[in-house]
Structure 1
C-alpha cells in the first residue's frame, strides 16, 4: 500500500501554525516551513517582551508613588516600610493610580505609614536603651569582679610577705641565741673543756675529710693511731677502721 504522510493530525498542526502566521510578509504566512520558523521566533519575542513590559510598568508605578511621597515629605522606601508595618495589602499599581488621581487619599496612607514608623522607632530606641543599660551593668559587674580579685591577690601577697618576714625574724633570733650560748660556754668553760672541744672539732674534720684523702694519707693516719695491718688494707677498709677508732675515742 502507498504510505499516506498527510494525515489529519499533521494537517491540523500545519493549519494551526499558518493561522498564527497570518499577516506575516511573503512566504512567512503561506509556506509552512518558513511560517513555523517565524512563529517560533515570535513566541520567544512575546515571552521576553511580556516580562519587559512588567518591568516598565513597575518602574512607572514606583516613579508615580515616589512623586506622591516627595509631595508628602517622605521617601519611597520609608513609605513602603510603613505600609508593611501597618499591614496594608495595597499593591503598587493601586498606590500609583491613587497618587496620580486621588492625592488626598494617598496622603492619608502616608500619615498611616508615618505613624507606624514612629512607633517602630520608639520601640527600637527603648530596646537600644535597654541593651546599653544591660551592657553597662555587665561591664560594672566585670569591673567589680576584677577589683575583688586584685584585692584578694594583694591581701594574699601581703600575708605571704608577712609570714616570710616572721620566719626570717625567728631564724635570726634562733641564730642569735645559739651564738650567745656558744659565747657563754666558751667564756665560762675551763681550759680542759676547750681542749676537748678542739679535739671534737678535729675529729669531725677528720670524719668529713676521710673520704677526700688519698690512700697514702690514710695510711699515715692509721700509722699515727697504731692501727694493725694498715699497709695491707684498701681505701674503704682504711676509712672504716679509722672511723671506728675515732668513734671509740
Structure 2
C-alpha cells in the first residue's frame, strides 16, 4: 500500500504531466466550414467607399442585396449572384434567387460555430502586455485578453507553416494607422484567427494577417488591408480598402 502522502504527491505529479502535455499539444486551426468560402461574410451589411479591391466572394445574410452598398453591382441573369468592378468574385445576398439564400444561411451558421469554437479554447497566454502591442514577436499559440487590444507598430508572427495562432479578444481590436503584422518562418495567414467579441477597426494604411471572426462591426479605414478574410456577425465597412484571401 502506498502512503497517503505518496499518493497525493503522485497525483500532483500526474496532474503536472497532463497539464504540460496539453500545453505542448499542437493547437488546432478553427474549422470555418462553408464560411471559409467567403472573403467577406456579414449578417447586416457590407459597405464600401470606392475604390476598394476585394478578391473572392462576399455575402450578406439574413439582410438583402440593398445592404451591399457602394458597389454599383450588376445582378446576373440567373438572379443567384451579382458582380462589381470592386470585387473579383461574386456578390451574394439572402434575397437572391435560390439556392443562394440557403447557402448563405448555412455559411452564417458555420461562421457562428467557428466563433464559438475560437472562444472555447483553453490554456491561453492571458492579457499579454495588457493588450498594448507594438514590436513583439509572437510564437504560435493561444492568446487571450479580457480587455481591448491595440496594435500600434509592427508585430511579427513567427512559426512554421503548421503553426496556429488564435487571439481571443473580449473587447475591441484596434490597429493604429500604419500598424501591421508580418509573417515569418513560414507562418500562413490562413492559420491565424482573430476572435473578437467587440469591434474591429483597422486604421489608415494598416495591415492585418489572418481571419477575423468578429461578433460586431469590422471597419477598414482608408488604405488598410486584410490578407485573409472577414467574417462578421454584424456589418463590415470598407474605405478604399483591400481584402485578399490567402
Name the TM tier (shorter chain).
under 0.3
Q: Which has the higher contact order (CA 8 A, sep 6+)?
A: 2
Counting helix residues as a fraction of each chain, which structure ranks higher?
1
Q: Which one has the largest radius of gyration?
A: 1
Counting strand residues as a fraction of each chain, which structure ranks higher?
2
Query: What is the TM-score when the length of structure 1 is the normalising length?
Result: 0.18
